[in-house]
Structure 1
Amino acid sequence: MLPALSILDQSTIVSGRTAADAIQETLALARLADGLGYRRYWLAEHHNSESHAGSAPEILIAAIAATTRRIRVGSAGVMLPHYAALKVAEQFRALEAIAPGRIDLGLGRAPGSDGRTAHALNPNAASAADHFPAQVRDLLGWLGDGLPEGHPFRAIRASPQVETRPECWILGSSDYGAQVAAFFGLPYCFAHFITDGHGAAEALAIYRETWRGAGKPHGAVAVYALAADTREEAERLFLPRALWRLHRDRGHYPPLPTAAEAEAHPWTEAERARVDRMRESALIGTAAQVREGIADLAARLGVAEVAVLTPCHDAAARRRSVTLLAEAFAQVPAAA
């Protein structure tokens, strides 16, 4: 059985275009995904970055939720240690008022930035991540579970009071997030695209083995995937992402280069070998090839949902990839 398909969007800034352009491309792609039958559209959070424009997923969620009709819209994720749990609860209650029953609240523990930026967001950044489980507990309490007896803020109610609540997820790329998700009985998504898949099977196994929820554990993975009309075209579109990853691994976060800029890069043998290793986990090719890769990965990891991340300099090629995969997974609604 094929997994459900969703989209994870980092609002990637590309060479020659602005951060504002990246936001507009995100809004347009979300509307396309809504019509194509994708289950979810998730927005990432990054700060002080020349690579990603998505610094405020809650703002983008509001804009997308107000201009779509059926797709779930959410964060992947809100980096909770930067913020007060009450404020996040109120933001997402407001989002539920905009699109009842269509909001996802994905939570992460990583800073999504460098240490100095994390400190600017929260002066207690050095220790804030240690309180992540307590923050999750409080957030769930303000979303409807109620705060525990003796909690100093038990009498406080998160506004607005609405009938529905967001679906909460824990996102991560290590065992830690898996254990937090299992403890609170929440869905869990492993960031396969960050680790090239390393640790995915182990984290998902720990998630299932330590599950404490009332129902069954629900795992997902977020992967890099790009489909094109030919394998050769997919490879050409993949090269800028590969070059960007090399920069990222060295601590640099530039805009995503064009295919021509990537081809003109003076590649060393070591860099070419690194790109070859990236290809082993990157799901690229024709729609049929990517569909097979996604289905195989989901079966091996035992997940029923996959979110695809497709940073691509060519906005039209990105839309084409999203459309090809929707058709390959036969998820396009009849009325679309």
Structure 2
Amino acid sequence: MHKNFWPDAMRAVRFGLTAALVGAAVVACGGGDGGGSAPPVLQANPTTPWELMTAGDIAQCLARPAADTNAEKTAQLVERQLAGAGGNANVLTLGDNAYLAGAMLGYTDCYEKTWGRFIAKTFAIPGNHDYENGNSNYYDYFGAKASPDGKRTGYYRIDQSGWTVFALNSNIDATAASAQAQWLKQELATAQPCVAAAWHHARFTSGKDGDNTTMTAMWDILDQAKADVVLQSHLHQYERFAAMTSDGTLSATGGLRSFVVGTGGAITSGFDTVRPGSEKQAQAFGVMRLSLSAGNAKWKFIDVDNAVLDEGAFDCRKKA
């Protein structure tokens, strides 16, 4: 955990079961060393939107040099987006950060040489491949960027620019009675006016794997609190969904809008029958750029050739 507290600074990152506070300061630029490093430190009172670059299913080298992979192409895209975003910008991974059955070599030989270049600005979320054959390599590599409280639960919160982003773990118990669900309920009571959640396994998809019910209870908790958007991956494709309740019912007045952004570098997959509620589908390598401001958000899905394949905006739901 970061040791230099600014006692009068706004809370920037609040995480784990301890709900510890980390002092806010300007984001440090440049690289980082992964394991054990402090999490990114956010600006106290930014006057510009918080720019968040996000994707999952990333570092799949398949015996190729990292420089020859699609993860390298998306890493270069992230670098370009960060360069144009100014200091108030971060990266959020959506799981399956590396492959090789969770082996450390997947992180050090593939992720580190691609998306590791901006690890100083990165927040990480685990996927099923990160938890394959245990999860110690994932936490050893990412350190505080994946577990700011050191407890390796894989869930925490980030507060910035009028938003709370809940980084959640779809690889562990997420039922209504789980410790993770109880933590989320508690933390929602002090969330910012706009709320996003992010985890790996997509609740809804038009991909061949079909819908995943692992996070249904978490979806209900977030919807009851009038959260705004969910970010996921697991399917190697991009898909945007209209606001829906946890059972897939379209809702004009409630529900959560959601995105699947499994486009970070692993081999892409196609779509089966387009699911009701799906508003956009793309099979391309790329990243989603979210511009988060007080009361609203804008998004763009950008492919590795810099083409904008999807974009839009929404206002946050009124919480009172």
The bucket for the TM-score relative to the shorter chain is 0.3 to 0.5
Which entry has the higher C-alpha Rg, 1 or 2? 1
Please identify which structure carries the higher strand content: 2
Please identify which structure carries the higher helix content: 1
TM-score for the superposition, normalised by structure 2: 0.36
TM-score for the superposition, normalised by structure 1: 0.35
